[in-house]
Amino acid sequence: MTAPTAHPAPAPLEVWIGVECTLNRVQDQYLHQLDTCGHSRRPDDLDLLAGLGARRIRYPVLWEMVAPTDPEQPDWRWTDERLTRLRELDLQPIATLLHHGSGPEYTDLLDPHFPEKLAAYARKVAERYPWLRLYTPVNEPLTTARFSGLYGVWYPHHTSDASFVRMLLNECRGTVLAMRAIREVQPQAQLVQTDDLGKTHATPFMQPEADFQNDRRWLAYDLLCGRVDEQHPLWTYLLQAGATPEELAWLRHNPCPPDIVGVDYYVTSERFLDERTERYAGHHQCGSEYADIEAVRVYEDLAGIEGLLREVWARYRLPIAITEAHLGSTREEQLRWFSTFWQAAQRVRQEGVEVLAVTSWAVLGSFDWNTLHTELKGHYEPGAFDVRGPAPRPTALATLLRDCADGRAAPHPVLASPGFWDRPDRYFFPVVRSSAPRRAPSPDRTARPLLILGQGALGRSVRRLCVERGLAYQLLPELTDAPAIGAALQQLDPWAVVHTAGYGHIDAAERHRLNFWRAQAVGLAVLARACAAGGVQLLSFSSDQVFAGERRAPYHELDTPAPVNAYGRAKLEAERQALAYHPGTLIVRSAALFGPAERWSALSRALARVRTGEVIHLDHQHAFSPTYMPDLVHASLDLLIDGERGIWHLVNDGEMTWSDFVRVVAEARGLPGDAVQPLLGTQPGWLAPRPRYSALSSRRGHLMPSFERALDRYLADAAD
């Protein structure tokens, strides 16, 4: 009897990473992610990235960088340094030659000679680096052609089917010629072809348009695989848009199928079309005909990454890698997003789908994708590293990637709760029910809570944002004695404690010095000791009041405290006690919090008086950093999830006096600013003295937006 043939076990699922490297053109301006995030100036980043345990990295060898003005005068210095170091680190690059760009200034996506020019550059790359094996000549060709040729977002800003088709054909022909040129130098070179692969859902009336878009989403892959012939569902569309039978035949007879199909998928990739435009916000409406909205916000039966992986495999039967897994959101949602992809890839592999890897995209974060990279205003989405400090700082996502790469299972407690895409609060508009069988709901998971101590304004804000972020929590009053703290920790089993009690009670602390000292300094010491004994993380909030105010430059974390009031002295001692008993404590110093939901705050009371026509006189002698409470809480929770410790300063960038602050907010809300006048003299009626200058800054990282951006969100939130 013949023994059965033994088949080798499939290789483990790999972690790949990618550096967001878009270099696109808007009108006559080139926008470059590598410059904006600072990676172009930090060669040491590569050593940090190698520490994640990834096997491969999507990395730029960009045409516009190497030969921006003359194809015969390339400058290889930057790529020589970076690729050499990656080779030394044994982190294999997937070389990207064009990333959402239209090429250097001597070409563009409508140039009839674009394919040959791209191929000429690709040959130079292969000759320069013959050891490279993996290439993406054109990243996301379908997506780039849509944004540049159909929607007019990027250069050359066309808005027609003819331009879209011409760009896509140029990109695909360019890819075929580029890989041909590369393989003449390096026969083992492989094509990793990426694209944003979503899916369109629709009402019955809009289903024909959805069917067209669902056929179109495969078009780049189909062209490269030589699958577009007279029987292709888009054959007539392509001809009507200006493609010739001869050029389509050329692609059919010169196929260049991907060695690896790269699937990019975002939470906005799946769309829903609805002719009932009145149901949706105006920016979702495509003229008067229909609305196009993110399906996650309205439709219950999403395909999700798991369903799309099965579709790709059924269509092409080629190896697959998820080449972009990124979510611009809060930290726990970023963890949940990558974990969802990782688990989906593992499940479909068990069905025989050949998924090789999951790529953590934008590993250094990305800037200004909230406006489709059409302008650079500083909107930042961190990745596995946060670059807003003196050096890239690893986030909790970096830990998750290392665990996945090493085959370890040490999930962060926040992963026990579902992401917003699996929660009922994801819907912004009336829910559209699907006729298809509903997906099985996510299994119930018992999540360890976040324990919030203190029921004041700050504690209530933490509670609200825990609900918004899908974080399990328990809210309790302040606990200061050891038995009560021990009982709460034992009963609730929190993964972290957030201590908010007593924040901002400056005059009350002066009036009740001993009681406030006991509650803050002594109470936090007891809490810190209990958390340390139980292995529980601790976050506590401190204040700008720990400083004397004798300078005119913002205080940072290493400046020497010298409080001038009882509140500052108690907060400073609480910091010292907490860090002494629990060195892993995260201490966040902030100042002058304001928020839309606090009706009885000092700001709300002042605005109410102005609204009645009263002229008010407010302090103009003491400068501080007004801070929007939701910004503070979001940033603090992200740091807590990251496992950060020690003292951080978190305020909105900017400084002003109390009268300046109220006047600016009043004017922004349509109230008369001249009703707010500087207080004559130096006695604002406070019981406790205040530092004359207590603006804060940070040496560890500027994680908070400017005051102007915070004010915009305050106004929007207050209007809801």
pLDDT in tens, 233-271: 999 999 999 999 999 999 999 999 999 999 999 999 999
pLDDT at 152 (0 to 100): 95
**Number of Cα atoms under 13 Å in the Cβ half of residue 311:** 14
Rounded to an integer, the average pLDDT of 384-410 is: 95
Tell whether the model's pLDDT for residue 286 goes beyond 90.
no
Rounded (10°) CA dihedral 74, 76, 79, 81: -170
In a domain, 596, yes or no: yes
Mean of pLDDT values over 44-65: 97
The pLDDT assigned to 282 comes to 76
pLDDT at res. 444 = 46
CATH assignment at residue 102: 3.20.20.80
**427 within a domain of the structure (yes/no):** no
Q: What is the pLDDT of residue 228?
A: 98
Percentage above 70 pLDDT, the chain? 96
Q: What is the CATH number of the domain that holds 575?
A: 3.40.50.720
Q: State pTM to two decimals.
A: 0.95
Quote the tokens at residue 357.
């890897």
Same domain, 116 and 243: yes
At residue 439 the predicted structure's pLDDT band, cuts being 50, 70 and 90, is low
Verify that 397 and 469 share a domain, yes or no: no
Beta strands (DSSP E) in 454-493 are 473-476
The reply to whether 229 and 329 lie within a common domain is yes
pLDDT in tens, 188-228: 999 999 999 889 999 999 999 999 999 999 999 999 999 99
Q: Note whether residue 206 is domain-resident.
A: yes
Q: Are residues 254 and 401 in the same domain?
A: yes
Is residue 352 domain-resident? Answer: yes
Tell me how many domains the chain contains: 2
Q: Are residues 338 and 251 in the same domain?
A: yes
Handedness of CA 150, 155, 157, 158 (dihedral sign): negative
Q: Which of 384, 409, 434 is the last residue of a domain?
A: 409
Radius of gyration of the chain (CA): 28
- Same domain flag for 216 and 109: yes
Q: Which of 381, 409, 437 is the last residue of a domain?
A: 409
Is residue 442 in a domain? no
Confidence of residue 443 (pLDDT cuts 50, 70, 90): very low
The interaxial angle of helices 707-719 and 629-642, nearest 10 deg, is: 110
* Whether residue 471 sits in one domain with residue 323: no
3-class SS of residue 585? coil
Identify whether 445 is part of a domain: no
pLDDT band at 410 (very low <50, low <70, confident <90, very high): confident
Q: Tell me the three state secondary structure of residue 413.
A: helix
**pLDDT category, 7, cuts 50, 70, 90?**
low
Same domain, 241 and 363: yes
Confidence of residue 579 (pLDDT cuts 50, 70, 90): very high
Q: Which tokens is 17 given?
A: 């990473």
If you average pLDDT over every residue of the chain, what do you get? 94
Residue 426 included in any domain: no
Distance separating alpha carbons of residues 115 and 117, to the nearest angstrom: 5
- Vertex 692 angle, CA 691 and 695, to 5°: 80
> 472 and 382 in one domain?
no
Owning domain of residue 467: 450-719
Q: Are residues 568 and 631 in the same domain?
A: yes
Domain's final residue, options 351, 384, 409: 409
Rounded mean pLDDT, 124-139: 98
Instruction: Answer whether residue 386 is part of any domain.
Output: yes
Please answer whether residues 154 and 92 qualify as being in contact, where contact means their C-beta atoms are separated by less than 8 angstroms. Answer: no
- pLDDT of 4 over the 60 cut: no
Same domain, 458 and 359: no
Q: Are residues 329 and 465 in the same domain?
A: no
